[in-house]
Amino acid sequence: MVLVHAQESSTDASATSDGLYRDTLIHASSVKELTIKALSSSVSITAKDIDGKGENFYYNTNTSDSPDINKITFTIFKDVTDLTLIEEEGKKLEIFFLESGTNPAYLSFDIPDPENRTVQSYIGHRQMNFGVNLTKKGKSHWSLTSGGLACGWITPVDANPDLNSSMGRSMEWTWNNILGVSWSYGNNSITTGIGIDWKNYVIRNGHYFHKGDDGMISLLPFEEGVSKGTSRIRIFSYQIPIFYRLFFGKKGLFTFTAGPIVKFNTSANIKTKYRLDSRDYTVTSYHINQKPVTIDFLGALGYYGIGVFVRYSPFNTFRDCAGLDFKSFSTGIMLFL
Q: Rounded CA gap, 109 and 88, in Å?
A: 10
Do 239 and 103 have their domain in common?
Answer: no
Pairing of strands 103-110, 2-5: antiparallel
Q: Rounded CA gap, 152 and 301, in Å?
A: 14
Tens place of pLDDT per residue across the chain (337 aa) = 333 333 333 334 444 455 556 788 888 999 999 999 888 778 889 998 888 877 788 888 877 666 565 667 788 999 999 999 988 877 888 999 998 777 899 988 887 777 777 777 777 655 444 555 565 555 677 888 899 999 999 998 887 776 777 677 899 999 999 999 998 887 899 999 999 999 999 988 888 999 988 888 888 899 888 988 999 999 999 999 999 999 888 767 789 999 999 999 999 999 999 999 989 999 999 999 899 999 999 999 999 889 999 999 999 988 876 677 889 999 999 997 6
Q: Could you list the residue range(s) of the whole structural domain that residue 228 is in?
A: 131-335
Do 104 and 166 have their domain in common?
Answer: no
Do 79 and 94 have their domain in common?
Answer: yes
Do 141 and 257 have their domain in common?
Answer: yes
Do 144 and 59 have their domain in common?
Answer: no
Do 64 and 186 have their domain in common?
Answer: no
SS3 content of the chain, % helix, strand, coil (to 5): 5, 65, 30
Do 235 and 262 have their domain in common?
Answer: yes
Of 124, 141, 166, the position where a domain reaches its end is: 124
Do 154 and 82 have their domain in common?
Answer: no
Q: Any idea of the CA torsion for 200, 204, 206, 209, to the nearest 10 degrees?
A: 10
Model pTM score:
0.65
CB of 180 closer than 8 Å to CB of 191: yes
Do 119 and 173 have their domain in common?
Answer: no
Instruction: Name the domain count of the chain.
Output: 2
Do 107 and 146 have their domain in common?
Answer: no
Compute the C-alpha angle 84/89/94, nearest 5°.
30
Q: Rounded CA gap, 231 and 211, in Å?
A: 12
251 phi and psi, to 5 degrees? Answer: 60, 15
DSSP 318: B
Q: Rounded CA gap, 99 and 241, in Å?
A: 44
Of 70, 105, 124, the position where a domain reaches its end is: 124
β partners of residue 207: 221
